[in-house]
Amino acid sequence: MIDYFNEFYRRLDRQGPGDDKYTEMAFRLLENLPPEPKILDIGCGSGHQTLALARIAPCEITAVDVYDGFLRKLKDNASQATLKGSITTLNASMFELPFEDEQFDVIWSEGSIYIMGFENGLQTWKRFLKPGGYLVASEITWLRKDIPGELREFWNAVYDEMGTIVEKLHTIEKSGYQPLAHLTLPEYGWLQNYYALMDAQKEAYLNEYGHVGEARQVVESEMEQEMDLYRKYKDYYGYVFYIMRNLS
């Protein structure tokens, strides 16, 4: 049986907003890493950010996702790329990660921690970090407090842990981390690096699967509604990279 949601997103180079420059900026904020840090990329998708990290430094990355189609695409792209680091892929749920305690220097999660919930993800994954290790997560965040009702209603239904930067920093501290920095992804990380990819794939996807109502809903309802809301209200919310250190 075809998973029409993942089949559409498998075609994209990214499964969420992002930008290689901001991935690198966040990584460069991590001080005193070992020469070949061990990085766990949770919810890697097809691994655009995984490849960016492997280009930056001679690291050992374990890239985890629950969907094989994403991992196959990552492996294919990695085999064709010039990388300083190495990438190992693993099909596993972020809810049941098969790792030993204190195994990684860095945990990375771009646009995926919402699946666990921000606070639950921080607390659950903490045991996999070495003492003083880093966690970097990009999280959808309110950038203003005067949220229009239409927008709040949409995101409350999709992700009820939406919060402000101040609220997210409080959650980070409460979860046993030291917040070090945060970076707000610019508009082009959404419009050019994500939504434009969606638009480019929409026609081919509908030509292949448009006869199936579930497939049309992925594109015509969920995707287009989200894009329309962002274009209308982009000043009110965005993705923020949160860079933190494990205090354990």
Distance CA 99, CA 96 (A): 9
pLDDT at 218: 87
Instruction: Evaluate whether residue 206 is within a structural domain.
Output: no
pLDDT digits (tens, 9 = 90+) for 6-36: 899 999 999 999 999 999 999 999 999 999 9
Instruction: Evaluate whether residue 181 is within a structural domain.
Output: yes
What CATH number corresponds to the domain at position 60?
3.40.50.150
Return the CA Rg of the chain: 18
Looking at the structure of the chain, the number of domains it has is 1
DSSP 3-state of 73: helix
Instruction: Evaluate whether residue 83 is within a structural domain.
Output: yes
Instruction: Evaluate whether residue 141 is within a structural domain.
Output: yes
Instruction: Evaluate whether residue 167 is within a structural domain.
Output: yes
Report the predicted TM-score, pTM, of the whole model to 2 decimal places. 0.95
Distance, first Cα to last Cα, the chain: 44
Instruction: Evaluate whether residue 202 is within a structural domain.
Output: no
Q: Domain of 148?
A: 16-187+235-246
pLDDT digits (tens, 9 = 90+) for 39-53: 999 999 999 999 999
pLDDT digits (tens, 9 = 90+) for 184-193: 999 999 999 9
Instruction: Evaluate whether residue 123 is within a structural domain.
Output: yes
- Local structure of residue 126 (DSSP, 8 states): G
pLDDT digits (tens, 9 = 90+) for 77-134: 999 999 999 999 999 999 999 999 999 999 999 999 999 999 999 999 999 999 999 9
> Is residue 195 over pLDDT 80?
yes
How far is residue 74 from each of residues 8, 40, 45, 71, 157, measured CA to CA in Å?
Answer: 16, 15, 8, 5, 31
Instruction: Evaluate whether residue 9 is within a structural domain.
Output: no
